[in-house]
Amino acid sequence: MATNAKRQTVEMYIEEKRVQGEEPVCAYVYDLEKLRDHANTIKESLPDFCKLYYAVKANPDQHLLEVLAPTVDGFEVASEGEIHKVNEVGQIPMIFGAPAKKDCEIEAAIRDGVGYLNVESFQDLNRMLYLAEQKQVKIPILIRVNLSSDVPDSHHMMSGVPSQFGVDEADIPDLIEKALQSDHVKIEGFHFHAMSNNLNAKAHVRFVETCIEKSRKWQEQFKLEISVVDIGGGIGINYWNPGEPFDWATFAEGIDHLGKIVGNLTLVLEIGRYMTAECGFYVTEVLDVKKNHDQYFSLVRGGSHHLRLPAAWKMSQPFRIHPVEEWRYPFERPGVLNAEVTIAGELCTPNDVLVRQNSVKQLRAGDIIIFEMAGAYAWTISHHDFLSHPQPEMVYLNK
């Protein structure tokens, strides 16, 4: 959660913006100092055999990438566009991982010296072999494994279940054999990104241990000279109960204890949501408060076209209310006291919901709502052009 000082800073921005004009307040506010401190804390907590990568897909905002670049060991990218965004920040190590790669993306990864490309299927490998042979290069690859079992209580399962991601664990030996037949790829290790938004630190440590053990097994079986075990990301943010976050200290301690089985391998973490979620705030003004069929609704300037995650996950985004006492209109000000309210946006669809029947002490038209934990999978996953509303302002708070 935001510190009191930063709460005041965000709210000072709101007050400054309110007096500038009559347009309703609507903005993303990023606390870059908070992001910098959080990234440093994560990095310093990890043992020396770990490399910390930032998963660019969580939030590719250039300001955030520039803040993270001096701290992280590299960036995980999933498109040619993300490669270009990282290159604009500087010459930083990259891992390319995506389930459906285009030829131009593989070629861009080769051209720009991406450190590793993950292999998601036999077709993926065949296309890499074909392009590498044409260019007479050797591509360093990580084989992405869809494990037979996985962490069952994570929010989104990508492994251990039928999915479009990775190579079925049962097929890994055949894929290794095929890769070893070519001089145009080098198996550098295995990639296990398997879940999204896991909140159980101890379960995540057990998952990492499984990844290391599987990698060691294939290393010995095929006499591979591998160097990397990439466990992906998947560490969660508790949107439902922010007071009980993922226990990073327990996770980092558990990782440290795995050093005895890691040996000379490097353990790569691709942290996305957990890195940036809490540095971002979506700030928007209440336009109306109304009652329909005995339920109260607050309508805001903005909505799921700016912040899609709560609608996609059918959850309530954590929020706080910034009360505004002034009311500039000569007519009655709508509002509620001590009631459950659904907060909805300005779109012409009943799916445009950011908060579902949460209790508020007071909420009125003209008040400002500050949605917290909006720094990841928020603006860039949203359908910005629906109804052609103006986009929110982007604001960056720094020292």
pLDDT digit string (tens) for 321-341? 999 999 989 999 999 999 999
Average pLDDT of 269-285? 97
Residue 2 lies in a domain: no
The pLDDT value recorded for residue 152 is 55
Position with higher pLDDT, 398 vs 245:
245
Q: What is the mean pLDDT of the chain?
A: 92
Banded model confidence at residue 1, pLDDT cuts 50, 70, 90: very low
Query: Do residue 251 and residue 360 come from a single domain?
Result: no
Q: Which of 243, 276, 309 is a domain's end point? A: 276
Query: Do residue 195 and residue 312 come from a single domain?
Result: no
Residue 3 lies in a domain: no
Q: Which of 244, 276, 308 is a domain's end point? A: 276
pLDDT at 313 over 50: yes
Instruction: For residue 170, give both structure tokens.
Output: 């049962």
Average pLDDT of 63-76? 98
Query: Do residue 292 and residue 346 come from a single domain?
Result: yes
Q: What is the pLDDT of residues 122-148, one digit of tens each?
A: 999 999 999 999 999 999 999 999 988
CA distances from 293 to 296, 313, 317, 343, 361 (A): 8, 25, 23, 15, 21
Query: Do residue 201 and residue 286 come from a single domain?
Result: no
Residue 254 lies in a domain: yes
Q: Which of 251, 276, 301 is a domain's end point? A: 276
Query: Do residue 217 and residue 251 come from a single domain?
Result: yes
Percent of the chain with pLDDT over 90: 86
Residue 390 lies in a domain: yes
Banded model confidence at residue 6, pLDDT cuts 50, 70, 90: very low
Q: Is 260 left (phi over 0), alpha (psi -120 to 50) or beta?
A: alpha
Instruction: For residue 109, give both structure tokens.
Output: 């990864």
Residue 145 lies in a domain: yes
Residue 138 lies in a domain: yes
CATH of the domain at 295: 2.40.37.10
Residue 4 lies in a domain: no
The pLDDT value recorded for residue 2 is 43
Query: Do residue 152 and residue 245 come from a single domain?
Result: yes
Query: Do residue 296 and residue 257 come from a single domain?
Result: no
**Number of folded domains that form the chain:** 2
pLDDT at 153 over 70: no
Range in 9-13, 246-250, 281-285, 369-373 with the lowest mean pLDDT: 9-13
Active site residues: 348
Residue 295 lies in a domain: yes
pTM: 0.93
Query: Do residue 174 and residue 226 come from a single domain?
Result: yes
Range in 103-107, 161-165, 345-349 with the lowest mean pLDDT: 161-165
The pLDDT value recorded for residue 3 is 45
Domain containing residue 221? 32-276
Q: Cα(212)–Cα(265) distance, rounded to whole angstroms?
A: 9
The pLDDT value recorded for residue 155 is 55
CATH of the domain at 233: 3.20.20.10
Range in 144-148, 183-187, 188-192, 340-344 with the lowest mean pLDDT: 144-148
Q: What is the pLDDT of residues 35-65, one digit of tens each?
A: 999 999 999 999 999 999 999 999 999 999 9
Average pLDDT of 296-321? 96
pLDDT at 4 over 70: no
Return the HEC string of the chain. Answer: CCCHHHHHHHHHHHHHHHCCCCCCCEEEEEEHHHHHHHHHHHHHHCCCCEEEEEEHHHCCCHHHHHHHCCCCCEEEECCHHHHHHHHHHCCCCEEECCCCCCHHHHHHHHHCCCCEEEECCHHHHHHHHHHHHHHCCCEEEEEEEECCCCCCCCCEECCCCCCCCCEEHHHHHHHHHHHHCCCCEEEEEEECCCEECECCHHHHHHHHHHHHHHHHHHHHHHCCCCCEEECCCCECCCCCCCCCCCCHHHHHHHHHHCHHHHCCCEEEEEECHHHHHHHEEEEEEEEEEEEECCEEEEEECCCCCCCCHHHHHCCCCCEEEECCCCCCCCCCCCEEEEEEEEEECCCCCCCCEEEEEEEEEEEECCCEEEECCCCCCCHHHCCCCHHHCCCCEEEEECC
Average pLDDT of 372-376? 98
Query: Do residue 209 and residue 328 come from a single domain?
Result: no
Query: Do residue 214 and residue 261 come from a single domain?
Result: yes
Percent of the chain with pLDDT over 70: 93
Q: What is the pLDDT of residues 207-223, one digit of tens each?
A: 999 999 999 999 999 99
Query: Do residue 335 and residue 236 come from a single domain?
Result: no
Query: Do residue 110 and residue 121 come from a single domain?
Result: yes
